[in-house]
Structure 1
């Protein structure tokens, strides 16, 4: 049995038994797949998406948790349709969140949202937020 067949069989069994991976396990699987995939970029995006959802990122100004998730995903180059699929919400809901983000951040239009979100996520990647001391 080749690795592809074995992997497919394992995934089908997990699906049948409603087995679910936690976020860390999902990231480990995606990282392993990245090494054998033809399209490494899509897996890199998926891994980053899982990390964005996992982390409790601070609110950008007064954005809700969901708006902050969407803001981060916009900053990573995801389109509304992709965000909707990843978050299991409708594309219309993503558009509503984007409009609310634009209002709350007092910016004009999607272009400015994309630019600001990109700069924010790039800055966060370069200068990660300090962790809280538990002393």
Structure 2
């Protein structure tokens, strides 16, 4: 997208307004161009944590994402962003977890981020988005919870097709097996023969390629059966 002088002036005005309050905000602020997701602005705290200057970030363009972020996380938030963009929804926003590689650190740091569309061109199409990012290590127990959530989301995406082959009764039995119930106990709960429960359990194991109670529980948790 070509930016004319008037639009460039508006961008600079908006960035200056953010700069005035950036250091007072409890989160890092980042402004991206939607076209290539290159950085237009990042608040000083964020630049310090990454160990780069704003000019260096601007020159990185798409490389910025691969250098500082775990790209696997984008499987969760990128579809949400595409919906936001396709609807050109200037009032909507999305939130998501990200793993960030900070300067002088070998480990990923967890952040919770929120993004919304920020500026439109003369045709009414959004071309900038703004994101705020807050470190989860400032919130007790949240990094571990974020890890579990990411793992469940990944499991759900990778196994949705298998799970969708289960019928309603098989999903019910999957739930009860995950609770550690035996076939006689499940048959009493559902009012069906124990042999029927055994047959369903066998089919579930075959369809999902699982064998243990742990496997049953993993599916039940990921697909909100328990």
TM-score (norm 2): 0.26
Structure of higher CA gyration radius: 2
- Point out the structure with the larger helix share: 1
TM-score if structure 1 supplies the norm length? 0.42
Higher relative contact order (CA 8 A, sep 6+): 1
